[in-house]
Amino acid sequence: MREIQMVDLKAQYEKIGPEIDKAIKSVLESTAFIKGPDVRLFEEELQAYMGVKHVISCANGTDALYLAMMALDLKPGDEVITTNFTFIATVEVVALLGLKLIIVDPEPGTFNISVEAVKKAITPATKVIVPVHLFGQCADMESIMELEQKHNLFVIEDAAQATGADYFYRDGTKKKAGTIGHIGTTSFFPSKNLGCYGDGGALYTNDDTFARKLRSIANHGMKVRYHYDDIGVNSRLDTIQAAILRVKLKYLSEFNKARKAVADKYDKAFSGCHSIAVPEKARYSSHIYHQYTIKVKDGKRDELKKFLESNNIPAMVYYPGPLHLQKAYGYLGYKENDFPVTAALCKEVLSLPMHPDMEQDQLDYIIDNVLKFFN
Ligand SMILES: *Cc1c(COP(=O)(O)O)cnc(C)c1O
């Protein structure tokens, strides 16, 4: 049996390597390393896939969030509401821009931001809601957009873990994760569902004014060469990464389907095990399983993790600590018991190996070991 990885990028490269090599070589030969033709072509192809009017590429998913917040022209002290159960990048940009960070609990089942908790957190100073489509499944966007309408807010979707997930409206129509709010952001970090071979990121918007502004601030705020309308930064997607992403975008649907097939087998195998809760599926979203995250009951999570590791099965805790207890965010003044849902999740969640190149014998071995632990 092949060694089991959380994400097996080597197995993937063995399959698509020749195409990737060819794409990289053509950039090397062109020497158009910055803003080469592949960057624009990738943006256009991703636009078509996402069904969104504008895609603006940038250097990474954290920058995408930073650029999105910059584009809103907020004032220090304006409030930004997001979830306490996410990767740190979602909140650090809020802090860096001097905005007031308001964190709320997620829903215990879907792990995504609780709309009820957001409702309670809204004040006259609230300007932005940042839902995160965690682990590959959309947050309840229709309800969030209703709050946005009612209170005249901005919505920035952090779609770094959900490239390709569909959101289903109550009337049956659907949109891709990241294309519903004012601005959506994503990351092409290698282990993401659409990952490059280094750092990369992008923003989505259907708004021409935001698109222009984002493109400008991602490139030093430059309107025409050496004329600056905005204060900007340098945040660009390398041509080599864009060329790699053009190859990988063609496989995204197939890879996401393969992840779903792995998840379905995990679900089925664990359905009779009372010590495990399999990931809850929201009625309003497809799931592309960036992570397959179970909840382990009775305080057995760490023991199960150790048992699996001793059998050469990696397993990861995303995320081990709530944001409000991190030293850097102590200044927010939250108290230890302010977020009971996050606190419980941090003790229960465990992500199992999940990637499109999982082989049947590997999957059987993981499932057998998880079940063996509880028997
Ligand atoms: C990966 C990730 C980011 C940041 O992306 P980088 O490209 O690593 O900067 C932001 N938010 C979430 C939810 C992520 O998973």
- Name the pairing type of β-strands 166-168 and 174-176: antiparallel
Count how many domains the chain has.
Answer: 2
pLDDT in tens, 112-169: 999 999 999 999 999 999 999 999 999 999 999 999 999 999 999 999 999 999 999 9
Residue 2 in any domain: the answer is no
Same domain for 177 and 37: yes
CATH of the domain at 182: 3.40.640.10
At which of 215, 235, 250 does a domain end? 250
Task: Ligand 1 pocket test: pick from 113, 134, 161, 187 the residue with the most ligand atoms within 8 Å of its Cβ.
Answer: 187
Q: Which domain holds residue 66?
A: 9-104+111-250
**Coil/strand/helix, residue 79:** strand
Distance from the Cα of residue 135 to its chain's centroid:
7
Distance 161 CA to ligand 1 centre (A): 8
Give the confidence band of 321 by pLDDT, cuts at 50, 70, 90: confident
Cα 200 to ligand 1 centroid, rounded to whole Å: 10
Residues 177, 129: one domain? yes
| Domain CATH for 286 | 3.90.1150.10
Residues 62 and 198 in one domain: yes
Report, as an integer, the average pLDDT of 285-295: 98
59 and 163 both lie in a single domain? yes
151 and 287 share one domain: no
Per the domain annotation, does 4 fall within a domain?
Answer: no
Is residue 119 domain-shared with residue 238, that is, in the same domain?
yes
Domain boundary among 224, 250, 276: 250
Q: What percent of the chain has pLDDT over 90?
A: 97
DSSP 189: -
Atom of ligand 1 at shortest range from CA of 187? 7
Amino acid of residue 211? A
3-state SS assignment for residue 56: strand
For residues 212 and 326, membership in a common domain is answered with: no
Would 3 be classed as within a structural domain?
Answer: no
| Contact between 259 and 286 (Cβ < 8 Å) | no
36, two tokens: 């080469």
285 shares its domain with 245: no
* 187 Cα–ligand 1 center, Å: 6
Q: For residue 136, how far is its CA from the centre of ligand 1 (angstroms)?
A: 12
In this prediction, residue 47 has a pLDDT band, given cuts at 50, 70 and 90, of very high
Residues 239, 265 share a domain: no
- Residues 1 and 17: their CA atoms lie apart, in Å, by 22
Q: What pLDDT score does 225 carry?
A: 86
* Same domain? 285 vs 326: yes
- Element housing 128 (H / E): strand 126-130
| 266 and 226 belong to one structural domain | no
pLDDT at 224 over 90: no
Identify whether residues 256 and 245 lie together within a single domain. Answer: no
Mean confidence (pLDDT) of the chain:
97
Choosing from 227, 250, 273, the residue where a domain stops is 250
> Is the shortest distance between the CB of 86 and ligand 1 below 6 Å?
yes
